[in-house]
Structure 1
């Protein structure tokens, strides 16, 4: 996870544009949730993870493949930041019939990361 792209609006736009692969998007969210992989022990360290995440997901969940952790991620975005993709990046969403659950999960992850970025810069 040491080769993650920087957390900035270019990276978030690249997530929406599918220029960053699913595994890297998962790893970005894991990193900012506080999960760290210990290469020496080949285990996940979750000591920096918020308690409710740690209880539900002692190891980082695959947000792309599983809906429940994505729902939890959505609920963790502050109300005032729910529309950040639209407000900051002009993201208009997807047209009906042109997207799959994977696309909406990536958009949720991008919005969560953008919210994290905005909160961190305040």
Structure 2
């Protein structure tokens, strides 16, 4: 997963605007949740917190799994739930132009923005 795009606001916008493929979106979330692959392509879970590691010993596909996306949403602290709107000015998708996939991409983008905020890497 070393070929991931940088975690910055440009990447977050690219996720929202569907300019980053679904697999890469998943890989970004997996990476920042702590999932790593070993030399034998098995999952190394040593950096994954127990509440994720126990329920998902293999990282979930967040764009296909409603339960995994709901868990991702619940893991965002309340004060950071509106970061897409507050920090990026994202107004949401227009009615008729979005479905579950876009909603889940926005959830992944907001979770990554939350990660940036918590790690002190989100500019004011």
Q: SS of 2:57's equivalent?
A: coil
TM-score normalised per structure 2: 0.94
Q: For each residue in 1:66-112, what CA deviation from the matched residue of structure 2 results, as whole angstroms up to 9, or x when unmatched?
A: 11000000000000000000011111112232211000000000000
Partner of 1:52: 51
Listed as ranges, the gaps of 5+ residues in structure 2 are: none
Q: SS of 1:71's equivalent?
A: helix
Partner of 1:22: 22
Q: SS of 2:37's equivalent?
A: strand
The total of aligned residue pairs comes to 121
Q: For each residue in 1:31-72, what CA deviation from the matched residue of structure 2 results, as whole angstroms up to 9, or x when unmatched?
A: 00000011x222011110010000110011000111100000
Q: Distance in 2 between matches of 1:19 and 1:97?
A: 19
Partner of 2:33: 33
In the TM superposition, 1:68-107 aligns within 5 A as: 68-107=67-106
Kindly report the root-mean-square deviation, in angstroms, between the aligned alpha carbons of the 2 structures: 1.0
Q: Distance in 1 between matches of 2:4 and 2:102?
A: 20
Q: Distance in 2 between matches of 1:29 and 1:14?
A: 14
Q: SS of 2:54's equivalent?
A: helix
TM-score normalised per structure 1: 0.96
Q: SS of 1:56's equivalent?
A: coil
